[in-house]
Amino acid sequence: MNDVNATRNETPGGTRPATGWAATTAIILCTLAACVVLLEMGLRVIGRYPINSLQGYFAQGSIAYRLRPNVSRTIKWPTTTFTVNTDEMGFRARRPGPRGLDSRPYYAVLGSSDVFGNGLDYEKTFIGVFAEKMERHGIEVVNMAVGGHGLDEQTSIFEDHAASVKDPPRVLLICLNPLVISLYDDRHEGVVVRNGNLFPKDNWKMAYVRMVLQNKSTVYCFFRDSIRHIQLRYFDRQDFDMSFYFDLYSQMNPIRTSTRMGDFLGRLADFEKDIRSLKARPVYVYCPFPAGFDLNRPELDTQFFPVLIDQHCKAEGIQFINLEPALTQLHDKGQKLNIDLDGHFNGPTSRVIGEHLYESLKPGGNTE
């Protein structure tokens, strides 16, 4: 009987042996693996994706982290590619290497990722545009902004710089956006730097594995970017999570309480004293978020932030540059303000901002 069943299982109309399924599965898996290998090789040959170094451009320092000096890194996002260069002081610059600040006057700029210029080459950021125009007057512009930094971290960066150089900047631009104002005392103490990249302290190993895939596997990047482009083209995916901005601009935001507001303005006043003690002039710049122009809910208030800084500047006799009116004109004309699938300013918007800063701060212009 066993011989009959064995014979039946081997006939075309019988049941496939268990080893047959295993062999089929193995063939499929081997075929898929071969396809992945061929795709990986093909993408590398045609140079579709750069094979980036795992070494990033951050370093442990200041309160939490800062930029490494003298680095040049190309960063590839799904919808844009940009290069980050830092000078010998660890500030973003047109090219890596020395700046020669001892031989010429300079302005300095503090801020977060919008001022740093996430997603853009330095020349296309609004600080890069501003710096190019100020060169005509023999004035250097030093971008001290670091993505993610809050007010405490920004002031720490400036204080470290002021203690290490012979001459302070003539002017210090303090660029504030709604997030920096709301979380002015936030410090990234839960972040750790590994190989020049930022990771959460609690789960940095898994994040590191994902980063390795992004940097070393062109196939991973190919499918990741393909999915992003499909979402962008066919599914009208929003560039940013609007719920985040609902909380930020909500009238229930804790920064609106007298305690938080008073503490924030007090920290600004203390910082201004330190700046003036160095014979430098503070200037405040308000940078709105592109998403803020699409918020039309009665419970949201996008004007709280610029009004707060404007009132403070008037009381303290400090120049205030509000970028919102200029960007409102662009938005009302239908111009896209941000990078695809990202909330940071795109190149055309950054050029308008850079030119606006120049007109507001150029020597001999209206600086009051």
Which pLDDT does position 15 carry in this prediction? 54
pLDDT digits (tens, 9 = 90+) for 20-29: 788 888 787 7
Mean pLDDT, rounded, for 213-220: 68
Q: Each residue of 254-282: pLDDT tens digit?
A: 999 999 999 999 999 999 999 999 999 99
Crossing angle for the helix pair 258-277 and 151-164, nearest 10 degrees?
A: 10
Select the more confidently predicted residue: 192 or 157: 157
Asked if 144 and 86 touch (Cβ cutoff 8 Å), the reply is no
Residue pLDDT, tens place only, 102-157: 778 999 999 999 999 999 999 999 999 999 999 999 999 999 999 999 999 999 99
Q: For residues 99 and 76, what is the distance between their CA atoms, to the nearest angstrom?
A: 27
Instruction: Give me the mean pLDDT over the 336-346 stretch.
Output: 93
* pLDDT computed for residue 368 by the predictor: 47
pLDDT of 9 = 46
What's the mean pLDDT when you consider all of the chain? 86
More confident residue, 65 or 190: 65
Give the per-residue pLDDT at 119. 96
Tokens of 95: 């090219």
The answer to whether the predicted template modeling score (pTM) of the entire model surpasses 0.85 is no
For the stretch 24-78, pLDDT in tens is 887 877 887 777 666 566 655 565 555 555 678 999 986 889 999 999 998 888 7
